Amino acid sequence: MGRACTVTQAATALGLGVTATYKLVQRYVRLGLVWESHCEERAGRALRFYQAPPAFYVPFSVRPFEEMGRLNRAAQLHEFEQNLQRAMNTRAWTQWGTLTCATPAGDWYYEFVSQDGRIFQPQADDSPRILAGWNRVSLTSAEAQTLQQQLLALVRPYFNRPEQGETYQLGVFLSPERVQ
């Protein structure tokens, strides 16, 4: 987005096949979401460069949310797992492992535990900088709205800043399990 590239360059950047990317580009050209910015003549076939604006609206009827969400979650989950693995392979974690537990309701969870039985306390000053977990919480609609606002207020100051120090990956997910 925001720069011109060929279909082959876009396919490589997106991890898609050239044919699939070409079909998407043609579809987006018809919808006015992408345009041919310039063409470079060469022996054989000319190189056509396409460009998209730095931001644009795509209705869910064109690209369903579940498709976009699935691809985004898969990429983010893979990156998260790689980053978590790298963090766990540092010297700070050599004496740690996981303790798998069950709640009275039957949900499974795990705790980071040291070999001598200490449970990892992320709020401790000397703890490694990591916080991971999927948590189910029972909330009213008003509580969910309040939590959403609190989470946004918590992370918003850190968005779009110039890089300073280390880079951390943060994922926050709040969604009802069953829509009424």
Q: Which residues contact 169 (CB under 8 A, 6 or more apart)?
A: 79, 80, 83
Q: What is the mean pLDDT of the chain?
A: 83
Contacts of 122 (CB under 8 A, 6+ apart): 130, 131
- Indicate the SS3 state at residue 14: helix
Q: What is the pLDDT of residue 104?
A: 87
Provide the percentage of residues in the chain whose pLDDT is more than 70: 92
**pTM (predicted TM-score):** 0.48
φ, ψ of residue 66 in degrees (nearest 5): -65, -35
Per-residue pLDDT of 17-52, as tens digits, reads 999 999 999 998 998 888 999 999 988 888 999 998
Instruction: Report the candidate in 119, 73, 80 with the shortest Cα–Cα distance to residue 96.
Output: 119
What are the residues facing 51 on neighbouring strands? 35
Q: Which two tokens stand for residue 48?
A: 């056509």
Structural Rg of the chain based on CA atoms:
23
Residue whose tokens read 């018809």: 30
Q: CA dist 108 to 130, 133, 137, 146, Å?
A: 20, 11, 14, 26
Domain locations in the chain?
5-51, 59-89, 92-158
pLDDT tens-digit map of 59-100: 778 777 777 777 777 777 777 778 777 777 777 778 888 888
